[in-house]
């Protein structure tokens, strides 16, 4: 089944999806940007679970995803995925960003998630070109067939991403 795609301009910590995705870093111990916002709004429960995961499996590799509960957030789960830092190796870094979306969707499916919200992974501090990142995100979501996930919401926080997604999703 094709999943429904929605675009929202705003703050992912306010979104009532079954799962929200965090653009984490490999330490899983929190950072700036959307990561900081999720930990601040979600409370210490999320960090405690991240520490437990670290103690079990070590750092989270780029492109992979892990899950915690969502603490005080309206979502049920936070899926933490580590996006690539943009260094200009388009082929390699695009593949890694693809893996973020794919692995997050697979993990969501295994949890029975019906609605999932993604931020614009890697397009902040990690400097991935926004238009290329949006194309990868939309392509991956459109190609992912699921009997479980019904809706994917792209949460665009900054004006530039919102405009890029609006244009690409119209096509």
Confirm or reject binding of residue 16 to ligand ADP (CB under 6 A).
Answer: no
Closer by beta carbon to ligand ADP, 2 or else 40 = 40
Instruction: State the greatest distance between any 2 C-alpha atoms of the chain, in Å, as a whole number.
Output: 45
d(CA 78, CA 38): 9
d(CA 35, CA 25): 8
d(CA 9, CA 111): 26
State in angstroms the smallest separation of the CB of 166 from ligand ADP: 15
Which three-class secondary structure state does DSSP give residue 16? coil
Confirm or reject binding of residue 157 to ligand ADP (CB under 6 A).
Answer: yes
d(CA 134, CA 93): 14
d(CA 82, CA 85): 9
97: left (phi over 0), alpha (psi -120 to 50) or beta: alpha
Position among 46, 155, 162, 164 found at the interface with ligand ADP (CB under 6 A): 155
Confirm or reject binding of residue 161 to ligand ADP (CB under 6 A).
Answer: yes
Confirm or reject binding of residue 19 to ligand ADP (CB under 6 A).
Answer: no
Number of Cα atoms under 13 Å in the Cβ half of residue 69: 8
Confirm or reject binding of residue 78 to ligand ADP (CB under 6 A).
Answer: no
- Return the range that interacts with ligand ADP (CB under 6 A); candidates 43-51, 60-68, 139-147, 154-162: 154-162
Q: Could you say which residues in the range 102-141 bind ligand ADP, by CB under 6 A?
A: 119-126
d(CA 33, CA 26): 15
Set 35, 89, 158, 159: catalytic member: 35
Is 18 known to be catalytic?
no
Closer by beta carbon to ligand ADP, 3 or else 38 = 38
Closer by beta carbon to ligand ADP, 73 or else 108 = 73
Footprint on this chain of ligand ADP (rule: CB under 6 A): 11-13, 23, 32-35, 37, 83, 119-126, 155, 157-158, 161
- The residues that are catalytic are 35
């Amino acid at each position: 089944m094709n999943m429904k795609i929605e675009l929202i301009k705003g703050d992912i910590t306010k979104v009532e999806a079954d799962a929200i995705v965090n653009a984490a870093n490999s330490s899983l111990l929190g950072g700036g940007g959307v990561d900081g916002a999720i930990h601040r709004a979600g409370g210490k429960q999320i960090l405690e679970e991240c520490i437990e995961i670290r103690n079990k499996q070590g750092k989270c590799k780029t492109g992979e995803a892990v899950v915690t509960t969502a603490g005080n957030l309206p979502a049920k789960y936070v899926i933490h995925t580590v996006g690539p830092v943009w260094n200009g190796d388009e082929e390699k870094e695009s593949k890694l960003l693809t893996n973020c979306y794919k692995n997050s969707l697979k993990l969501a499916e295994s949890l029975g998630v019906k609605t999932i919200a993604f931020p614009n992974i890697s397009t902040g501090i990690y400097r991935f070109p926004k238009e290329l990142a949006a194309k990868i995100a939309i392509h991956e979501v459109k190609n992912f067939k699921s009997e479980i996930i019904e809706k994917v919401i792209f949460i665009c926080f900054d004006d530039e991403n919102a405009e890029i997604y609006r244009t690409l999703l119209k096509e």
